Structure 1
């Protein structure tokens, strides 16, 4: 069984993923895997150079993530082209990774499951939510960003209300102890669905 886990910036989906991992669930973090592939794949490097020019590769021989982020932030077409380079490779790596796992179900964590209309790839989906002011505080602390920067990034994402309608389960992640309890209960529920 494959469960998709998603949530907006600052919702704490990484925290929730780690709580599931602590219950013995195998977790595939698409963003982490994308970063690894960007570093290691010569093919990706060539395609990035074709898309952004030579300056996309930093002096250390790796793609310059800040440079890329600056280029795609306000250019939806360029972002789409970047995604076309990275996402299919992450997807095929996931297919391979999946066969090596032996937990009752696995979780695929990705930020834009619903935005990309990928929910049909999963047996169930979980949305992690948090109040907006809490998200802003978390991201400001984590990324050293200003409130304005974080608000701009939130505005670029789908609102939680749209994603909640599409998700099978919601975890409101406002209080860590409560979140632990919710994850534990949902884990038991998902196990019962595996065995149903």
Structure 2
């Protein structure tokens, strides 16, 4: 099975582009969504996260995301430890998911493919980019976040220029109509390469 990675910085509009691929019949796996689900579902992950962060990691049996975010936001070491617990579980869940798909290719959306040096796991990588001011506006609107917080997140991620260098395809998502057309073109290109 051909696995295509889709990545991009916060607010670049990855979800919107994924919807285009879904509408073309491409199975889509969103790593972040699955990670959150597994953090709530898996007893092993729960036990390890409570050991790492304390009882407050879960509230009424559900993952306490604001608490975890506050703990890892400025603590790279804790983030690395948390990822070491969650990522292997997501990876095996993804493998099982892929084995059930029946398509020319699948897309796995993951925000930090390059940051975690995971590009070897993909046959092709698509990076979604957008102007920084537009990204900031989108995230403020979506998450009700402060401009300062969004800029901090952007500065902690690899720059678009770096991601573009390492990608097979780039979709510029400043204008929705144009971005959808680019996604369609990328889809056709991938199918051509697979043949």
Listed as ranges, the matches of 1:7-156 within 5 Å are 7-58=8-59, 60-156=60-156
Give 2:161's aligned residue. 161
Give 1:62 shift.
1.3
Aligned Cα root-mean-square deviation (Å): 0.7
Could you report, residue by residue, the CA deviation over 1:23-63 in whole angstroms, capped at 9, with x for unpaired residues?
100001000100110111111110011101112111x2112
Distance 2:147 2:49 in 1: 31
Q: Distance in 2 between matches of 1:76 and 1:66?
A: 17
Give the number of equivalent residue pairs.
Answer: 194
CA distance in 1, matches of 2:33, 2:5: 15
1:74 is paired with a residue whose SS is coil
Q: Which TM-score applies when normalising by structure 2? A: 0.98
Cα distance in 1 for residues equivalent to 2:72 and 2:148: 18
Alpha-carbon separation, structure 2, partners of 1:128 and 1:176? 12
Question: TM-score by structure 1 length?
Answer: 0.97
Structure 1 residue runs without a partner (length 5+): none
* C-alpha displacement of 1:85: 0.6
CA distance in 1, matches of 2:13, 2:115: 18
Cα offset, 1:136, TM superposition: 0.3
**CA–CA separation in structure 1 for the residues paired with 2:108 and 2:4:** 6
